[in-house]
Amino acid sequence: MVAASTLAALTVLAGVQPAHADDTPPAFGTLMTSPDRAAQEYAGGMRTAMLELSWKSYEPRPGEFNTSYISYKKSELRKLREAGLQVSIGLGMHYAPDWAKTIPNSAMVDQYGTKSSSVNLVFNRKLRDAANKYMTRVDADLGLENFYGLRVTSGGKSELLYPGTGSYYAFDANAQGGADLPSTMARNPMPGWKPGTLGTDPAKVLAWKNWYIGALVDVARWQMGRASSLGFHGHYQMLMPGYGARPSAVTGAVNKGLPNGIVGIGAAWTEIAAAFKGRKDVTLFATGVADNSGGNGICQATDASVPLAHQDTAYWSSARWLTRIARENGLKVAGENPGYGMPEKMNSQYVNTSSTGMMAVAIAMATSCDFEAFYWAHDNRLFDGTVPFSLYSSRVKGAGGHNATLAWPSTV
């Protein structure tokens, strides 16, 4: 086993030069952290944790809250904090209650009329109003000021994405100009127009694409604004899976009238990041660290000098690419590895305990890319025999994670 005890060792492991040799190491932790193991995990070098909620469990009927579930979550938070861990929160709005799905136009609809199974918090003001009440109750019960990070998604999905496999989900009544479009959102610049229509003026296609990606920016800003008004003052973690679309890919899609593809799911990370440029409370959060993209290459000291549009970046790992986007916009970066079975084809990499396995590579990436935090997906897999917690602990300590100090935005 190669212990990642120094950045020099990480360089040998990944075959490239580390980018931030003198920086503070990341804080390490787990996703869906078990509060009953919090003290053990702190002793093992963990300094951060994640608490996830479920909207449907929290509020099974409109305005009726599950007090036993809330008491359980309060206990979980208390145990995590008492162990010394800084906690991020997942609001779990993608676990929407059934009653929310009865609100008119609650589902997203693509250009073919396909309805999503997830709720439409992007284009539906009434759904946002309901979610605002849920967030208010969460704050009253748990205190958003107690959380270091807040996981920002599209609301209906677990990451900052539209549903589907590349079609464009902007054809419900409100997205097409209905009365319940959120007031913060611009109106559809071409109601009725369908992506993929050949012969459309490219300038108009560009405007439509900007509006479509801008809608994800708007749903993120809504969550951030609401959380801030309730007293949250930590880091907003923008959950971004994979590599997304390079600027040239977005331009190419526009020139072709937006055929189905990666722009349809909204993964234009360069554009979304630029919308939050310079915000010290925004973190680009890579959800695919060590996903085998780009040969799993770690960050290099020369990355900052490589333009985002340079062809070489197409061969970078997704974590390295998101880090470069974050640095371009003065943002922080953090992340997590793909969970076991997500997808199944990566399970052999997940359970590989050698220096080439997912754990060693992910920690190398997190350290070389100067992540503020890294979360292993998922906590239970470190204790059910899938991979040993002792290995994660030794690698975290080897990377200096037990010495990490997480800074809140107000102290940066």
* pLDDT tens-digit readout, 312-359: 999 999 999 999 999 999 999 999 999 999 999 999 999 999 999 999
pLDDT value at residue 333: 98
Q: What is the DSSP letter of 261?
A: S
* Segments making up each domain of the chain, as ranges: 7-411
Report the CATH fold assignment for 7-411.
TIM Barrel (3.20.20)
Give per-residue pLDDT as tens, 64-95. 999 999 999 999 999 999 999 999 999 999 99
Contact 216, 160 (CB under 8 A): yes
pLDDT tens, position by position, 29-58:
999 999 999 999 999 999 999 999 999 999
Please check the confidence at residue 254 and state whether its pLDDT lies above 80.
Answer: yes
* Angle, alpha carbons 89-95-97 (nearest 5°): 125
Q: Answer yes or no: pTM beyond 0.75.
A: yes
Does an H or E element contain 108, and which? strand 107-109
**What is the rounded CA–CA span in Å between residue 221 and residue 138?**
18
End-to-end CA distance of the chain: 36
Per the prediction, the chain carries an average pLDDT of 93
- Tokens for 23? 């920086």
